[in-house]
Structure 1
Amino acid sequence: MNTNQVTILVLYYSRHGNTKKLAEHIAQGIEAVAGCDARLRTVPAISSNITASEPEIPEDGPPYVELSDLADCAGLALGSPTRFGNMAAAMKYFLDGTAADWLSGTLIGKPACVFTSTGSMHGGQESTLLSMMLPLMHHGMLLMGLPYSHPELMTTSTGGSPYGATHWSGVDGRQTISEDSKKLAFELGKRLAQTAQKLHATR
């Protein structure tokens, strides 16, 4: 990786792979911007007694996130599947452990966006996006979504909102990501990268 690259952290939790796929489309949008690099990271699943229940190194896919990834990034895309209209416990568990970064202002002034995948069309896509925005606002991040200049927001029937990229995976999780949702995820990543690049240049 070129040391002059602006690094954008794409951090997600995915149980059945749909949020991961959405993260990959966002990463493609980020890397479509010259000088920007997407760093894909995930968080481990947790058990019912709120401890990590996965090995220290994932068996496949991106590495687990480290707090240093927050310091290194110029922007953040945060994603989680919906759990009762909220982010998954694994993502909340990670965010609850970022108090030191909150105290030191690690993320202040950095742009951020959010994305989610849901099993049902009206099962909490927008409320999950909003739930993920709250801790980012406490961290002082600059939240961004998708403007209606993207016509897919008016035509999509499978996900996508002005609050962030979404995907309707179906009850069995087998619904493929629609072309509209792919396009919106790509454009969200691209917009995040362009904004991060501009802000980074002024520091």
Structure 2
Amino acid sequence: MRRRPLDVSCWADRDLSYAEIGATADASPTARLTPGYHRVDETRVVGVGATLFDAAAGRLMDLAMHRGTGNEVVASAVPVELGTVIVQRLRLGPLRFVAPCRVVDLVDEPSRRGFAYGTLEGHPESGEERFEVAIDANGRVTLRIAAFSRQGRWFTRLAPGLARVVQGWMTDRYFRAMQEL
């Protein structure tokens, strides 16, 4: 069976599928969230030093970390910028899902870089995910992944527990892909 190539242009005009745009920027966004969202907020050390920080930030902003998960990834702009549409084809055993998102926030500070994207209509989930690389005063480099989501399509509503498992699995894959620097 032949797969159709991913195309960002067919997703460019889609609306975001959630109302709490930018809530992952808050240290504690729970108050801003409508009930029913599952939250993830995890930070891991990826290494030490300014050189590693620059490499990790580059890997994040050019979507190499996302591609490092084994998913097919296409974007309307690389490195990502505000408004970039990113589409991933996720594989879970024999199942394939298309996951379209739009970048809704950018972080470009001397000690912190990253972005947040929000799900577009048609994504299996509804919510937002933030990826940030930071370096502290001691040179320790961390990757933070923060997200909130709930089921966005009929098939994810059939197995809400499976959606949580997939989200945890993907979060681990992102961290592993960043460790491969």
Higher strand share: 2
Identify the structure with the greater helix proportion: 1
TM-score by length of 2: 0.34
Give the TM-score, by structure 1 length: 0.31
